[in-house]
Amino acid sequence: MSKYEDVAVHGYEEFCKAVSERKGKDIIVYFSGDKDDQGKSWCPDCVKAEPVVRGELSHLMEGSVFIYCQVGDRSYWKDPNNDFKKTLKLTGVPTLLRYGTPQKLVEEECFKADLHAEVQLHHLASRCRESLAAGAGAVAEGRSITGAHSLTPLTVETHDGRCLSNPCGDSGTAKLGTRACGYPSSTLGLP
């Protein structure tokens, strides 16, 4: 069983519906040119990028959503007023983006698996910043962290030394601003 939900849509309206039905989830979207009856896109870069993108899906976090969106035929895509360009500000296909963030790979960037990892790391760093903020508030108030923050790669030590979460699996505790495995949060580009 897949640890992420795989959704295929065609066109802007189906895309909007798929996103609205999955509010609050981590959504990765791959925009591609339409495919013909033989399953081949009119966009040669999309044909080249798709196996690379699909090969990286195993790195998605559990509970994520992957949306494969066909943007339309070539003439629709070339129209500067199409909904994808006008509303989502897409500039090219293929485009891989983390919905709701500025993180995206466009055209040739989608060919490079190492850049896909960068998009994931930026997301993790963002989650760590959120967890640090929540952890600081929780520690100051003497309460534990629950919900989405307990899934982030951080350990927060309370004022009495209790470890609130330890996803790296080691037995030690860590000060606020340090990952459970001992590396300072600054190694993730955190403040």
Is 46 one of the catalytic residues? yes
Is 69 one of the catalytic residues? no
Catalytic-role residue among 43, 69, 110, 128: 43
18, 23, 24, 26 alpha-carbon torsion, rounded to 10°: 20
Q: At what angle do helices 113-141 and 44-56 cross, to 10 degrees?
A: 50
* 102 touches 90 (CB < 8 A): no
Catalytic-role residue among 16, 46, 163, 181: 46
Q: Closest Cα partner for 67 from 131, 14, 115, 140?
A: 14
* 168 touches 181 (CB < 8 A): yes
Q: What residues are annotated to the active site? A: 43, 46
